[in-house]
Amino acid sequence: MPSLHAIIPAGGAGTRLWPVSRAGHPKFLLDLTGSGRSLLQQTYDRLVPLVGTAGVNVITGARHRDAVVAQLPDLPGDQVVAEPAPRDSMPAIGLMAALIRRRDPDALVASFAADHLIRGEDRFQDAVRQAADVAREGFVTTIGLRPTSPSTAYGYIEAGDALTAAPDAATVLRFVEKPEVDLAREYLRAGTFRWNAGMFVSRADVMLDHLRREQPRLHAGIEEIAAAWGDSDRDAVLERTWPTLTKIAIDHALAEPVAAAGGVAMVRADFGWSDIGDFAAVSGAVHAGETDLGIVGDPRDVAAIDSSGIVVTSGRAVSLLGVDDIVVVDTPDALLVTTRARAQQVKELVDHWRDAGREDLL
């Protein structure tokens, strides 16, 4: 049996989660739900039972490598790779796949975002195992989550015919980007559309072959870096080559074109999943109790009368009176007040502060 290796590209600023998420302390390093473990740590925790500590590989920005190593003390340091600059997910996942294949030519690789939230570890692990079975047959295999609402915050995947490689496997007809709400409702009604959770399982050689066809320059750059990995000039090659790699997401580089050619499969799953991309999603992920007011932080720091929504505290006393659907995020130097309905637009405030020259807040 080829062994399964996990790849965690730990990047992304989480701008819509500002001011909790900052450039220097991004979303994946945060414990957004008050669980005691950061999103990265939770991702690691749920992968170790599938691939072992030796099978977990993280690639992150150079400035965050120390923080990642500190958060994952059990993970050997050489399994945490620092990318010199963010080039989106394909270069990161591609390089890790290339490095893994050099050690294990038959390897299966499975990539998972570092900053998503999952409930139902058993069903998650079952889905990944099924995806590995499908991937062994040569499919780039994704995991399609059963949508529970007509979300406009997620991309969708349309399922085709069932496959026999695993109980919940099916072909993928196409990937679609975040839809408008009318289209999202249609997808939900149709029953054949699934949320794209950005999880991909593939044979390393299959992924790299697709990449060679679809993005030959990117593939060549990755292989050049991977070839130099054990050499003394590794850092020089990395520093020289990395900035030239095409900045592109795996969805656009591989998933969409390969799906169009019939090479992508999915496993239909229904564990709890959220990309926890904005404070409305944080609100949904935090148990709110009877009042529909979620609290991240010490509930004793919050007084609320006739209020609903989400409060993120950092030790100051927060008092709410008669505010519905509210989002209050309190950090030592910056305060955000918005609504769950507007949570997707928080980026505009970040733009404001950048334009105002307040780099200290970003």
* Minimum distance of a second copy from residue 349's CB (angstroms): 4
Backbone conformation region of residue 251, classed left if phi is above 0, alpha if psi is from -120 to 50, else beta? alpha
349 binds a second copy (CB under 8 A): yes
CB 338 within 8 A of CB 327: yes
* Minimum distance of a second copy from residue 307's CB (angstroms): 8
Interface residue with a second copy among 59, 108, 303, 310 (CB under 8 A) is: 303
Tell me which stretch binds a second copy (CB under 8 A): 27-35, 98-106, 241-249, 318-326: 318-326
d(CA 258, CA 326): 42
* Minimum distance of a second copy from residue 261's CB (angstroms): 42
Nearer to a second copy, 4 or 320 (CB): 320
Task: Give kind and range of the element (H or E) at residue 140.
Answer: strand 140-145
Question: What residues numbered 211-270 form the site for a second copy, per CB under 8 A?
Answer: none
Sign of CA dihedral 351, 354, 358, 361: positive
Size of the site for a second copy (CB under 8 A): 35
> Which whole-number Å values give the CA distances from 22 to 12, 55, 333, in the listed order?
10, 29, 12
Nearer to a second copy, 206 or 336 (CB): 336
Interface residue with a second copy among 73, 290, 300, 359 (CB under 8 A) is: 300
d(CA 28, CA 278): 13
323 binds a second copy (CB under 8 A): yes
Coil, strand, or helix at residue 362?
coil
CB 107 within 8 A of CB 263: no
Q: Smallest Cα–Cα separation from 155: which of 127, 120, 197, 185?
A: 197
* Minimum distance of a second copy from residue 18's CB (angstroms): 8
Build a one-symbol-per-residue string for 15-54: x at contacts with a second copy by CB under 8 A, - elsewhere.
----x-----------------------------------
Site for a second copy, rule CB under 8 A:
19, 300, 303, 305-306, 316-323, 326, 328, 330, 332-339, 341-342, 345-346, 348-349, 352-353, 356, 358, 361
